Structure 1
Amino acid sequence: MSMELELVPAGLAHALEDLLLVDHHVHGATSHDLSRTAFEDLLGESDRPVPDWMTRFDSQLGFAVLRHCAPVLGLEPFCPPEEYLARRARIGAKEVNRLLLGACGVGHFLVETGYRAEELLGPSGMAQASGAPADEIVRLEMVAEQLAGSGCAAADFAERFAEALWERTRSARGLKTVAAYRCGLDFDPARPTATEVAEAAGRWFEEGGRLRDPVLVRHLIWTGIDRGLPLQFHIGYGDPDVDLRRSDPLLLRGLIELAEPTGVPLLLLHCYPFHRNAGYLAQAYPTVFFDVGLAVNHAGARAAALLAESLEVAPFAKILYSSDAWGPAELHYLGALLWRRGMARVLGEFVAEEEWSVPQAVRVATMIGAENARRVYGLGG
C-alpha cells in the first residue's frame, strides 16, 4: 500500500491503537533465555540449521524485529542484530516477555498447548506476563498420543479417547487438529466406523510413533466435532513437515458439508498461500472462519498486501485475528503491531478512495480484531 500511516484518518488510527485484540490462536512465549542460534532458528519455519553464510535477520521478519521490537527493549530502531541480542540477553527472558507481551494490546489470548509446551509459558504464565486473560486450546492429536502411552487397548480407543477429550477440555475454549501435518487434508471426510477405528488403533499401537493414520485422524476430528467446541485446522504455511500441496483448505469441502448440520465453528488457521481459498470457503459455508496469522509476521513490511487479499471475498464477520506466535515474545508483539499497521493502511486507503466511510472501517477492524472471536468462542465482553 502506498498510503503512509500519518494519512490514515484519525478516527481509524485511534480505534486501531486502542483496540484490545483477541489472539484466537497463539502459543506461549519462551520461558528461558535464547542463544543467537536458537533465536534465529525461531525467525523462520525451516527445521534445518541456518547456513553459516546467512542470517535470518535478513528477512522481512528479521527487519521487523529490529525496526519495531528494539524500541520496546530500550534500543534505537534498526540497531545491529548483535546489539539487539545483547540487550535481550542482559535483561533476561522474564523481562523481555513482560515488556513485549505487555505492549501487544491483546485483551485475551487463546493459547494452544500441544507442541513442546514444556519450553513455553502456559495460559497462566501468559496471563501473568501480559496482564491479559488467557485460555487454552487443546490439540486433538496430543490427547490421543497421551492416551496411547497410557496402555489403552485398541478395542477401547474410541470410547477412551472421547472420555479423555471431555476431561481434558473442561475449561478449554476450543480444539485444534494438525491433520495437515499428519496425513494431509485429502482424507475421506466420512466418520469412520467403530471397526475401522479399532483396527487402525491396533496398527498404530503396534507400530508406535506419532499418530498419522488417516482413519484415526478422521476419528479424532469427528470426536472433536461431537465435543461441540470451535475446532481449528492448521492450513497451509508451516515447517517442511507439512506437505503444502495437501494442505489447501479446499480439500476440506466434503468434511465442511458433512459437519455443517452440527453448527460447530471450523476455524482455518494461517492459510497462506491459500488465504483466498479460505476466504471463498468462509463466504460459501456458514460454519467456516479463517485468519492469516503467522504469515503476517513473516510478511513484515508486506503484511498490508496479505491483509488486503484476506478482505477480498470473505464476509467480515468470518475473519479473525491471530498471531500464531510460538517462542520469542517478539512474535507475539509483531503479530499485533503488524496487523494494526497493515489494517490501518488497507482500510485507510478504502476511506481515502471514498469506497468506505470511517465508521465502517472502524467497525470492520473491531469485528476482525476482537468481536468475531468473542462471539465464536463465547468470551463475552
Structure 2
Amino acid sequence: MASSRRGESLERAVEAIALVDHHVHGALAGDVSRREFEEMITESDRPVPSWMTFFDSQLGFAVLRHCAPVLGLDPHPEPDTYLARRNRLGADEVNRRLLTAGGVGHFLVETGHRGDEILDPARMAAVTGRPADEIVRLEAVAEAVAAEGVEAAGFAAAFETALWERSRTARGLKTVVAYRHGFDFEPGPPTLAEVTAAADRWLWRSEEAEKVRVDDPVLLRHLIWKGIERGLPLQFHAGYGDPDVDLRRSDPLLLRGLIELAEPRGVPFVLLHCYPFHRNAGFLAQAYPHVHFDVGLAVNHTGARSTAVVAESLETAPFAKILFSSDAWGPAELHHLGALLWRRAMTRVLSGFVADGEWSEAQAVRVATMIGAENARRVYGLGEAA
C-alpha cells in the first residue's frame, strides 16, 4: 500500500511539471484530409500505399488512444471516426485542446520547415497562453540570403549579417547538416577562400533552379562555425528522421571532432532525438561539458514502447545533460503525445527505481523536473518559470 501511494505521489509530481519543449515546430494552421494527416504521422516522404494505413503504427495507435478523449471521444475509435470528429471541431479548437492538454509551460519553436503551413511562435503563444520563443535554422538563413541575390564573394559577410539580425531575439540555433550531408565532414572551420569558392558553385546551381538547398559540406561547416560564433545554443538533428537523412551518417559519434574543437567556446551543443544512437549521445553528454541531448522524436514514434527509449536515455548521461522535447510538427496530436508519453515513461521508469529502493522519491521528482524543464531553462537562459 505504501509503495502504491509513493507511485501515485510521483505520478502527480511528474504531471505537475510545466514542461519546456525545447525543440518543437508549430501546429497546423488549417484542416487536413485523411491522406494529409496520415502523411504527417510518419517520417516517410512517400505516398501512403493503398493497402495500408499509418494509423496501424505505434504513433497511430497512440493518437487513437490518448488524443481521442481530449477531442471528446472514447479511447480507440476507428480512424474515420476520429478524423470526422477532428474536422467537426476545426483546426482552431483541436489546437486549443491538444496544445493546452500537454501541460507545456514554454515552447522553443523551430520555424525552418514548411513554416507557411504551421503556427509561428506568436500564434503558438496565443493559442496556449504560454511563452513561445524561436529557434532559427542556419540553413534557412543561408537559403534566404541566396534567394535575395548575393555574389559569391559577398556571401560570407551577407550570411553573418543576416544570421545576427535573424537571431536577434532567438533562444537558439539549429542545423540540419545530418540531412544535407551527414556528420562525416571536416570538423574545422573553412577558410574564406574555400567558402567563396563553394558559394560560387552553389549560387550558380541556384540560378539554374527555382530553389537549391544548401548541401555543400564546405558551406555547411561555415554555417555551423558562424553559429558557434553567434554564441547561442546550437541544436543538431541526429539519428532518426525522414528518408532524406542517411542514418548511417547521422550517428552523433561522428561529431566528436567538431565537439572537441568547439569545446573551448563553451557554446551548448544539443543533440536532438538521436534514436537509435541515443546511447551514443549519452556517452557524448557524459564526456563533454557542453553536450546535451534528448530523445524527442523517438518518444512519439515508439508509442507504447517509448518507456524503453526513455529508460535507455537515463543510462550513462548525467541527468543535468538530458532535455525534453516533442519535435512535434503539424498535427497538434504530436505536441500532446510528446508530453503525455514522456510523462508516462518517466513515471514508469522512475517509479521502478523507487520501488526497487535504488532511488528515493525525492530524487526521482528532482530528476524528472530537471529533465522536463530546469535543464532547458538553464541551457537556453529562460529564467524561472512564471
- Whether contact under 8 Å (2:145, 2:162) holds in the other structure is yes
Query: Are 1:169 and 2:172 an aligned pair?
Result: no
Matches of 1:197 and 1:89, distance apart in 2:
49
Query: Are 1:326 and 2:362 an aligned pair?
Result: no
Of 284, 288, 295, 1:285 maps to 288
Partner of 2:354: 351
Partner of 1:137: 135
- Whether contact under 8 Å (2:66, 2:75) holds in the other structure is yes
- Whether contact under 8 Å (1:8, 1:344) holds in the other structure is no
Partner of 1:258: 261
Of 85, 91, 104, 2:89 maps to 91
CA RMSD of the aligned region, Å?
A: 1.0
- Whether contact under 8 Å (1:154, 1:202) holds in the other structure is yes
Any idea what the Cα deviations from partners look like across 1:258-312, whole Å, max 9, x if unmatched?
0000000000001000000000000000000000001100110111000000000
Which residue identity is paired with 2:45? D
Of 107, 123, 126, 2:124 maps to 126
Q: Look up the SS of the partner of 1:294 in the other structure.
A: helix
Partner of 1:226: 229
State how 1:290-301 maps to structure 2 within 5 Å: 290-301=293-304
Q: Look up the SS of the partner of 1:52 in the other structure.
A: coil
State how 1:1-381 maps to structure 2 within 5 Å: 9-208=7-206, 209-381=212-384
Q: Look up the SS of the partner of 2:28 in the other structure.
A: coil
* Cα shift at 1:150: 1.1
Q: Look up the SS of the partner of 1:161 in the other structure.
A: helix
Matches of 1:17 and 1:206, distance apart in 2:
53
Aligned length: 377
Which residue identity is paired with 2:291? V
- Whether contact under 8 Å (1:265, 1:289) holds in the other structure is yes
* Cα shift at 1:6: 6.7
- Whether contact under 8 Å (1:113, 1:139) holds in the other structure is yes
Matches of 1:219 and 1:8, distance apart in 2:
52
* Cα shift at 1:159: 1.1
* Cα shift at 1:11: 2.5
Q: Where in structure 1 are there 5+ consecutive unaligned residues?
A: none
> Which segment is superposed worse, 7-16 or 75-84?
7-16
Matches of 2:324 and 2:5, distance apart in 1:
24
Which residue identity is paired with 1:223? K
Matches of 1:347 and 1:282, distance apart in 2:
21
* Cα shift at 1:354: 0.5
Matches of 1:131 and 1:298, distance apart in 2:
27
Which residue identity is paired with 2:288? Y
Q: Look up the SS of the partner of 1:313 in the other structure.
A: coil
Q: Where in structure 2 are there 5+ consecutive unaligned residues?
A: 207-211
* Cα shift at 1:7: 7.3
Matches of 2:128 and 2:279, distance apart in 1:
33
Matches of 1:8 and 1:342, distance apart in 2:
16
Which residue identity is paired with 1:183? H
Q: Look up the SS of the partner of 1:25 in the other structure.
A: strand
- Whether contact under 8 Å (2:6, 2:361) holds in the other structure is no
Matches of 1:127 and 1:53, distance apart in 2:
40
Q: Look up the SS of the partner of 1:149 in the other structure.
A: helix
Matches of 1:112 and 1:337, distance apart in 2:
21
Any idea what the Cα deviations from partners look like across 1:152-211, whole Å, max 9, x if unmatched?
111111111111000001100000000001111000001100000000000000112110
Question: Where do 4+ consecutive residues of structure 1 move more than 2 Å?
Answer: 5-8
Which residue identity is paired with 1:23? D
Give the TM-score normalised by the residue count of structure 2: 0.97
Percent identity reads: 72
- Whether contact under 8 Å (1:183, 1:213) holds in the other structure is yes
Give the TM-score normalised by the residue count of structure 1: 0.98
- Whether contact under 8 Å (2:235, 2:272) holds in the other structure is yes
- Whether contact under 8 Å (1:176, 1:232) holds in the other structure is yes
- Whether contact under 8 Å (1:233, 1:267) holds in the other structure is yes
- Whether contact under 8 Å (1:181, 1:242) holds in the other structure is yes
Q: Look up the SS of the partner of 2:296 in the other structure.
A: coil
Which residue identity is paired with 2:168? R
Matches of 1:214 and 1:118, distance apart in 2:
28
Partner of 2:209: none
Q: Look up the SS of the partner of 1:232 in the other structure.
A: strand
